[in-house]
Structure 1
Amino acid sequence: MLEVENIRAGYGDINILWDVSVTFETGKLTTIIGTNGAGKTTLLRAILGLIPLSQGRIALDDQPLDKLSTWDLTEQGISLIPEGRMVFKEMSVEENLQMGAYPRRSRMQVGSNLERVYQRFPKLKERRRQLAGSLSGGEAQMLAMGRGLMSEPQIILIDEPSLGLAPVIVNDIFAILKTLKDEGKTIVLVEQNTHRAVGIADHVYLMQSGKIILSQEADTVDLDALHKLYFAQA
């Protein structure tokens, strides 16, 4: 179980997260929704150690993570699939995937993990020698997801995977997320598409102005009520 307890974090003198506490249960898909600027990406960055905490604690199975370096967290089985894909454009598709196998514990399985990724994303196998910068938006998102899976993570943090993609590609992305969930992966999904996010999730958090304003089991969420909170109409 990944736990975030009462954290504050931000950028320089600007605090973004205010006393945020969230729990991500093992083998469950938890979604964090909210408008732009709500603090969702900042929360993921805090979990990954990309920004320091000024208060609070982050722990995995009661073992503190917030003192570890970002590169050490990959050895703990945590992987980030970032917003905006962030692929290495001047490298081939396969080279990008190999970069995802950087953690020591996954280096010996590069070949088998590549084949597993290619089974999930057949289009990437077709494009494996192609420069990543020449891919379409949907293909680049698949590459970012495939790269994130190359380290054999147990906890996957994924930031806005549907952003800017055609509906048919969004369907493919959410089908992959469901498969990963069914395989027992712990998934933290940051997403603005509330219908799709709630529909696949086990638990829902709503963020607003750097705070958690709703925590609810997904199957009990009233979307109309959620949208009123989402747009601060309550």
Structure 2
Amino acid sequence: MGLEKVNLTGLQGKTPDFMKPVIRPFARWMFFFCARLLRECYPEQDARLWSNRELKKFADLFSGDIINVSGWKDEDKEGGFYSDYFTQKSSYTVSNVGRGARGSRGDSLDLTLDLESPLPPELHQKYDVAFNHTTLEHVYDVQTSIGNICKLSRDIVIVVVPFLQMVHWEPGSYGDYWRFTPFAMDQMLQENGFHTLYASHNDNPLHAVYLFYVASRRPENWKDRFPPRTEFDRTNAPGTLAFRHIVKS
């Protein structure tokens, strides 16, 4: 079809139908190219780096025995280790699933722990702090898994989960099943005897959006140690982010 035969009257800026098969793929390519360029220009907005900064705000508050649950090599993806964040610790343990799969360091320092299996009685409330970073989306039985993380702790649970993130998995190793809202996190922690002390999320349209949670069995011991939480934290902010990500995709 030649342009001389196309009636452009009344289009008012609309894309002619015959051009859409060409423009749509190009526009999609341009969007992802620009988004990737912006992510590279503003790496500090990365969800992992943001959650690391959140952890550093509070890690010095916690002492005693600490476990990084399903922590693989304990790396923070910035060249450091999460064990170094907890400067007041007495001991530090990294648990992982069975050897041979990603999520296992494969050395003698590992505690082998399957979050979807019953927690051995000797591990109940063995640690002062149970820390878990972006694992729960990869386990299908999420109720049992969050329950086991809570059972490990005598007091504090620190959990990072994705609210918005591309699906990611490794064949033969782990899948990708869940995304979490603040309502889900509050409810699951409460059902396991924990009160949310602090909850936050990163705010940007370029990267994944994580939720960062600190919860306690004994919230009275942490009065005035964390900033007050408002209803905005649970509703408006993540909802606005969801809308922005839906629009951009």
Using CA pairs below 8 Å that are at least 6 residues apart, which structure has the higher relative contact order? Answer: 1
Structure with greater Cα Rg = 2
TM more than 0.5: no
Structure with the largest fraction of strand: 1
TM-score with structure 1 length normalisation? Answer: 0.33
